[in-house]
Amino acid sequence: MSNTRTRGRALAAPVLLSLAVLFGTACAPTPTTPKGISFNAPSIGYVGKQYTPTATSSSGLPVSFALDASSTGCSFADGIIHFESVGDCVINADQPGDATHPADPQVQRTITIHECPPLRPGTWTGPLDLSAEVAVDGSTFTGTVDLSSLGYGVQDFGGTVSCEVVNMTFNGTPLTGRLSTDGSRLSSSYQGIAIVLYAPAV
């Protein structure tokens, strides 16, 4: 009799565990997909550039775009936003629904449009006593950067600038950096190290 009870308890344990796992799995909350329109847009744009908006709806229906009445500095044609002057480009995203899907709440995004920042000539500075002498000629530039504090001495560099994007070659390595909207800061990276240089005062 005692052995029967022991065997019963031994069999019951894995059965109960299996039921608990099954029950827990069945009752675990299922991750939910966000409802409505998903629309990501840049917060900043530059005069002369353009942007093609894209968005999705949880319904699977297409999303349409239009400029809000309050929008300034941009135009919208053939699915492309054109940044034409300084302003706030306000874009509305809508999904009007159909016979089986309700309309989604409108989603609005604002892109602040700036003039392209200038690359300033002169002495740029950075942390750890870094400094760079920059000469600018239209869309091209050359210069030297003093990396003595890092043990690399003085290195030459040069490149081109297209609006906020700066492309250069430094120590044989191509680099891409970005100017801040007012041109006072250049952010890039070299061999995985973040680099920030500050422009000379205007």
- Residues 105, 41 share a domain: yes
pLDDT at position 27: 53
Looking at residue 7, the DSSP 8-state letter turns out to be H
What local confidence, expressed as pLDDT, does residue 30 receive?
56
Is there a domain that residue 3 lies in? no
- Number of other CB atoms surrounding residue 142 within 10 Å: 14
CA distances from 56 to 43, 50, 62, 136 (A): 19, 20, 7, 43
Which structural domain, as residue segments, surrounds residue 108? Answer: 37-114
Give the residue from 114, 145, 162 where a domain finishes: 114
The reported pLDDT for the residue numbered 171 is 78
Q: Are 128 and 145 in contact (CB under 8 A)?
A: no
143 and 190 inside one domain: yes
Report yes or no on 92 lying in a domain.
yes
Q: Which two tokens stand for residue 110?
A: 């604002």
Q: Residue 180 falls within a domain, yes or no?
A: yes
What is residue 17's predicted lDDT score, i.e. its pLDDT?
39
Q: Whole-model pTM?
A: 0.77
- The total of structural domains in the chain comes to 2
For residues 130 and 194, membership in a common domain is answered with: yes
Q: Which of the residues in the chain have pLDDT under 50?
A: 7-26
Residue 71: count other Cβ atoms within 10 Å of its Cβ: 19
